[in-house]
Structure 1
Amino acid sequence: MVNLSLYTVRAMVILDGEGNRLVAKYYSRGPHAQNYKSVKEQKKFESELFSKTRKSSGEVILYDGHTVLFKYVNDVYFYLVGDPEENELLLSAVLSGLVEATSLLLKHSVDKRNLLDNLDMIVLALDEAVDDGIALETDPNVIASNVSKRGADTIDVSLSSLNEQVLIDVYKQAKERFNRSLLK
């Protein structure tokens, strides 16, 4: 029987060129229980996965009962782990969208150093692409745009908009006082 579920992704992992973890998100929801609950189990899985894929020329493998898709960009490995019966085209679209969005966010300079310097944006991009194991977005432009909007909303409170708001409030108060003085 085919298992129809929204929970398509088991994990998303980004490793450097030596197999060290840069970012990892494991998801435990859905019909299948997560295999890698402790950090020790996760790191063991990641190191075995890295040694299996570092010399591979393909992009999809079946490993440890999971479908694993991966992409290598400069000195960074991107991995997406799904169920063995999951649609590889869907998983590939999610991974490609994430890798391209990362490239857009890092101004086409994807490497370990740049990724670590902008880790906050990369984690937001992961969350935009996949939420708790559910693939949400595959379009890299949308992912990058949503991440950029969040950064602009939370970080930049410009002085000009603050000054405009203060002027509007002062104008309203002056108008109210003027109206009261006319009524007296």
Structure 2
Amino acid sequence: MVYKKNTMEGSLFEPTLYLVKGMCIMDNDGNRILAKYYDPDILNNTKDQKAFEKNLFNKTHRANAEIIMLDGLTCVYKNNVDLYFYVMGSSHENELILQSVLNALYESVSILLRRNVEKRILLDNLDAVMLAFDEICDGGVILDSDPTSIVSRAALRTEDVPLGEQTVAQVFFNIMNK
């Protein structure tokens, strides 16, 4: 639980589970591949989100740090080959918690993509990565930070495609592997 200090009264707010304000994956040009924002009070429209992401990328793509304060948000990030992974929280959020969410996101994607964390492969498996986003965080509440359990739940959900919506190759693959 995180206690938020009220600067007006000097007292503590009630504990909250809403720690994550957003998660985002961008390519090495700063273009959004996947993003989810959980706080409607900040970045509540696509135009604001794109402007924030552009600014965030410009501040982080050459830096060697892992954390930045930007527009009142604490942002932790990691890059690999041609992708940048970001997790955002409020300015008073614990960076270690945000870093654990970032590590869970990156490791889950790494496992899902069989250690080939590159833009082309991520785009080919975007559905599974989107499910991993949902398994990590729901509405700003951290659900899980164990990459193995995240991947196992995301993989189970991707296998539940109705027979009529599967390609012939998927049906053949499922038959051969049972």
* TM-score bracket relative to the smaller structure: 0.7 to 0.9
Segment drifting more, 132-141 vs 148-157: 148-157
Q: Assess if the C-alpha contact under 8 Å between 1:73 and 1:110 holds in 2.
A: yes
Identify unmatched segments of 5+ residues in structure 1: 161-184
**Residue equivalent to 1:10:** 21
- Looking at structure 1, the residues matched to 34 and 75 of structure 2 have their Cα atoms a distance apart, in angstroms, of 16
Q: Assess if the C-alpha contact under 8 Å between 1:11 and 1:27 holds in 2.
A: yes
TM-score by length of 2: 0.83
Q: Assess if the C-alpha contact under 8 Å between 1:74 and 1:111 holds in 2.
A: yes
Q: How many residues align?
A: 156
Partner of residue 19 from structure 1, selected from 17, 30, 33? 30
- Looking at structure 2, the residues matched to 23 and 82 of structure 1 have their Cα atoms a distance apart, in angstroms, of 17
Identify unmatched segments of 5+ residues in structure 2: 6-11, 164-170
Instruction: Give the partner amino acid of 1:39.
Output: T
Instruction: Give the partner amino acid of 2:52.
Output: F
TM-score by length of 1: 0.80
Per-residue deviation, 1:151: 1.6
**Residue equivalent to 2:46:** 39
User: What SS does the corresponding residue of 2:161 show, helix, strand or coil?
Assistant: helix
Identical-pair percentage: 44
Distance 1:14 1:159, change over 3 A: closer
- Looking at structure 2, the residues matched to 110 and 65 of structure 1 have their Cα atoms a distance apart, in angstroms, of 30
Partner of residue 49 from structure 1, selected from 44, 50, 56? 56
User: What SS does the corresponding residue of 1:81 show, helix, strand or coil?
Assistant: strand
